[in-house]
Structure 1
Amino acid sequence: MPASRSDPIDSSVLALVADLRRHYRDIVLPLWRTTGYNPDLQLPYEALDGTRLQVLPVTRYRAMACARQLYVHTTAGATDHAARLFDALRKRFVHPEGGWVYSVDAQGAPLDTTHDLYTYAFVIFACAAHYGATRDRRALDLLGATAGQVETRFSAPAGLYWAQLKSDLSAPLQDVQQNPVMHLTEAYLAARQVTGDAAFTTALQRIVNGMAGTFLHAPTQCITELRVGVPDNRIEPGHQFEWLALSRSAPDVFGDTVLGDALEHGFTFAQARGVDMATDGVCAALDLNGTIIDATQRIWAQTEYARALAVHGDPAVSALLKRQLQRLRERFLQPRGWYECLQADGLVARTDMPSTTPYHLATSYDALPSA
C-alpha cells in the first residue's frame, strides 16, 4: 500500500518515483501495445530483444503472460488494449476440460495443456483488476469460475495446492511449491477486494496456516521454495520481500499468525544475506545457511525489495527506499526498456525483455509514495 498522504515524504523520493512511473508509462507500456503485440492473435509476444527492440523467435504464447499483460494495461487505464487482451485470453487459452491451458503454439493452437496453478492464479488476479476497473461482468464470472476450479482441482493436503495437474486432471504432475501458492495468495487478496466474498478470506487464512506448516524454515524464519526437508531446497530473497508486502496489505489475514510473525524475521535475514551492500542488488538465491548460490540479480527481485521497503512501516527500513530506487533506475532501466538480469559485477546477463516483467514494475510502483 502506498505511504499515507499524512506521512512526511522526502521530495527527492517523490521525484524519483515520478521518474520511474514516467519511464513505465512512456517507454515500457507502449512497447507492448506495438512491437511486443501480435495483432493477428491479439496476444503479447513472450519477449523482445532489448538491444534491437525486435521480437524474439516465437515458439509459444503463455496464458500467464497474457494475464499479466491484461493486468498492467488494465491498471494503466489502456481500456481498448486491455479489452483485446481479455478477449484473447478467453478465446485462445480455454482448456477442453474447462479451465486454462498453459500455452499455445506460434499459430495459436494448444501446445501445453497441463493445468498450472501459477497460470490459474494470474487469471484470477487479472480478472479481479479488470472487473474492478471496468465492471465487466464477464471478468467477475471468469474470476469466480477459475477460483472454483482451483479449489476443486488443485486442493492438496495441509490447506495448500498442487503446482500442476495432468491435462486430464487425473493426478498431480508437480508437488506443492511456494511460488504458485504465493501468487494464488496475491490473486485471492485481489479477488476479495473487488468481490467482498468472505470465502476468499477463509481460503487465505487456510493458506497462511499451510505455508507456516510446510514452507517455513525455522532457523532462518524464511519461506523456502520447496517443502521444508526436500533436498536442494533454497531461499529466494525476492520472495521474502514479496510475501512481506502481501502481508502488509492484509493484516486481518496475516496478523497474529505464525507466518505473519516470521515474515519480519525473514525480511531481515534476506536483506542481510541476499542484498549486496555495495550495489543494493538482490541476489537470486541462497542456500539454507544463507550462503549465496545464485548471484544473478533479476529486476523483479529489485522491484520487490523496493516494494517491501515502501510498505514495511519501520522508519529505519523505509529510509533505505530512496537509495534502492536510485539503484533500480541507474542499474536496471535503460532508455528503451530495462535489463532483465545483471551479474553480481553489474554486467548485463540477459538482453531479452520478457512480457511478464511489466507486472513487477506495476505492483512495485503502485506501492511507492505519491505526493
Structure 2
Amino acid sequence: MFRSLLSTSKDFLFEQLLPNWSQYGIDAEKGFSYESMNHNWTKNAVGRIRLLTQCRQLYTFSHAYQFESKAEWLAKLTPLFDFITTQYFHDDRWFFSLNDDLSVKDKQSDAYALAFVLLSFSYYYQVTKDKRALDYMKSTHHFLLDNMQAKMGGFYEAYPIDTQQVRRQNPHMHLLEGYIAAFNTTRDEDYKTVINSLLSLAVEHFYDKKTKTLREFFSENWKYHSTTGHQVEPGHHFEWVWLLYQANKISPDQTHIDLAQSLWSTATRHGIESDGGIYNQIDGNSYQAIDKEKRIWPITEYLKAITVLPMGLEEKQHRIESALSFMTKHYFLENGRWNEYLDANNEAKSFPLPGTSSYHIFLGLTEVLTWDKQTLSDSETDI
C-alpha cells in the first residue's frame, strides 16, 4: 500500500498536474502564469495577477526541473523570470499585482510576496545560473531591511507602512523559508543574520509557552490581537516544524528543535480529525476546532513535517501512508486537478484551481519522495 501510494502520488504530480499547468496555465506568448484555472484547464480570470503567484510557479518549475530534467519545464523558466522582473519591479521595489490586462493594479510591496521572490529566484538561479537573480535577491533583501523593518522586531506586512495594520506570523514564516533558500544558494552571511532574527522572533513572540501553540495575529507591539489572537492554524504548526529543522542545518540550536517538537505535539493532538483530515483552524486556548473545513495545503505541510521529525520508520511510513491515502481519496482528481477545499464532512467544495496551491502540493509530495529515496539508499548502505 505504501509503495503504491507513493507511485500514485508521484504520477499525479509529475505526469498530470505539472504538465497540465505547464501547457494550459502558463501564457505561451507572454510567459506568465495565470492566477487561477477552471477544472477543465481553461483560464479563470479573477481580476488580478499577483507577484506571489508568478513566484510560486517559478519556484515549482525550477525545483521540478531538478527532479526531472524535462525540456518543456526548463523552457518556461526564463520567460517567467523575465515577466516577473519587467512587470512587477518598478522604482526599485516590487509591486503586488497586475490587472488581467497586465496593467498595474496594486503598487504595495508585500512582505509575503517578497519572501517568494527570495525562494523562487534562489531555485531559478540554481538551475539557470542567471546572475540577475542574485542581484534581485540582494536588492529585495536591502529593501526589506531599509524600508519594512519594525522597531518592535520583524517586518511590516506591506510598504508603504501602516503602523496600525494587524501583524501576522505568516509572512515571517515565509521570509524564513525564502532566506533559508537564499543562504543555501549563496552562503551569504547577511541572509543567515536574518534567519537568526526570524527564529528569535518565533521563540519570543509567535510561540505561546502556556498553550504550546503558534499564534497568528498580533498588534503593533506583538500582543495577541484583541479579536483574532486566539486563532491558530495546525497547518502552520507543521510548516514551522519543517522550517525549524531546515534552519537548524544552518544555525544549530536545540531550542529550535524543542520548539518544533512542541508544535508537532500540539498540532497532531488537536488539529487532526479522527479520519485523518486536518482542520483549517483551532482555538489556541481551548484547542477546539473553529474552522472544521480542510483546505489542501495543511496536509501537505503535515507530510513535510513527518519527513524531518525523529520517529521510528514504521510510524513514519504509517503516517505518510495515511495522509497520502486521505489525499488520493479526497483531494486528487483526474488529469492533475485537485479539490482545494473540503467541508467539515470531507465533501469537496466547488472551487477553481489556485495558481498558488501547486507549490504546496509539489513540496509536500517531493519531500516525501526525497525522504523515501534517502531511506532506501541508507538501507542499502547498511546491508
What's the TM-score, normalizing by structure 1? 0.90
Aligned to 1:281: 277
Cα contact 1:60–1:106 (8 A) shared by 2: yes
Aligned to 1:87: 82
Give percent identity, aligned residues only.
25
Aligned to 1:3: none
Aligned to 1:351: 351
Match of 1:213 among 183, 191, 204: 204
In structure 2, give the amino acid aligned to 1:330: K
Aligned to 1:261: 258
Cα contact 1:255–1:261 (8 A) shared by 2: no
Cα contact 2:30–2:79 (8 A) shared by 1: no
Aligned pairs for 1:1-371 within 5 A: 12-50=1-39, 52-77=40-65, 78-95=73-90, 97-166=91-160, 171-172=162-163, 174-227=165-218, 228-231=223-226, 232-233=228-229, 234-252=231-249, 255-256=252-253, 258-278=255-275, 280-288=276-284, 289-315=286-312, 317-318=315-316, 319-336=318-335, 337-368=337-368, 369-370=372-373, 371=376
Provide, for residues 12-38 of structure 1, a one-character-per-residue CA deviation record: whole Å limited to 9, x for no partner: 434422321221111111222222222
Deviation at 1:173, TM superposition (A): 6.7
Please identify which structure carries the higher helix content. Answer: 2
Cα contact 1:164–1:172 (8 A) shared by 2: no
- In the alignment, the residues of structure 1 paired with residue 159 and residue 256 of structure 2 have an alpha-carbon distance, to the nearest angstrom, of 27
Cα contact 1:240–1:266 (8 A) shared by 2: yes
- In the alignment, the residues of structure 2 paired with residue 218 and residue 349 of structure 1 have an alpha-carbon distance, to the nearest angstrom, of 36
- In the alignment, the residues of structure 2 paired with residue 100 and residue 112 of structure 1 have an alpha-carbon distance, to the nearest angstrom, of 10
CA spacing shift, 1:142–1:274, aligned 2, 3 Å: same
Deviation at 1:174, TM superposition (A): 3.1
- In the alignment, the residues of structure 1 paired with residue 325 and residue 94 of structure 2 have an alpha-carbon distance, to the nearest angstrom, of 39
User: Following TM superposition, where does structure 1 have runs of at least 4 consecutive aligned residues deviating by more than 4 angstroms?
Assistant: 170-173, 252-255
| Secondary structure of 2:24's aligned partner | coil
- In the alignment, the residues of structure 1 paired with residue 164 and residue 120 of structure 2 have an alpha-carbon distance, to the nearest angstrom, of 25
Cα contact 1:224–1:235 (8 A) shared by 2: yes
CA spacing shift, 1:41–1:106, aligned 2, 3 Å: farther
- In the alignment, the residues of structure 2 paired with residue 68 and residue 229 of structure 1 have an alpha-carbon distance, to the nearest angstrom, of 30
CA spacing shift, 1:202–1:126, aligned 2, 3 Å: same
Aligned to 2:70: none
In structure 2, give the amino acid aligned to 1:299: I
Provide, for residues 237-288 of structure 1, a one-character-per-residue CA deviation record: whole Å limited to 9, x for no partner: 000000001112232556435454222112111111110122x111100112
- In the alignment, the residues of structure 2 paired with residue 55 and residue 298 of structure 1 have an alpha-carbon distance, to the nearest angstrom, of 21
| Secondary structure of 1:43's aligned partner | coil
- In the alignment, the residues of structure 2 paired with residue 112 and residue 80 of structure 1 have an alpha-carbon distance, to the nearest angstrom, of 29
Deviation at 1:367, TM superposition (A): 1.3
The higher-RCO structure (CA 8 Å, 6+ apart) is 1
- In the alignment, the residues of structure 1 paired with residue 302 and residue 189 of structure 2 have an alpha-carbon distance, to the nearest angstrom, of 30
- In the alignment, the residues of structure 2 paired with residue 17 and residue 250 of structure 1 have an alpha-carbon distance, to the nearest angstrom, of 27
Instruction: Name structure 1 gaps, 5 residues minimum.
Output: 1-11
Provide, for residues 77-105 of structure 1, a one-character-per-residue CA deviation record: whole Å limited to 9, x for no partner: 2111111111110111113x322110000
Provide, for residues 114-163 of structure 1, a one-character-per-residue CA deviation record: whole Å limited to 9, x for no partner: 11001111011000001111111111111111111112111113441111
- In the alignment, the residues of structure 2 paired with residue 308 and residue 320 of structure 1 have an alpha-carbon distance, to the nearest angstrom, of 11
Instruction: Name structure 2 gaps, 5 residues minimum.
Output: 66-72, 377-383
Q: Give me the CA root mean square deviation.
A: 1.8
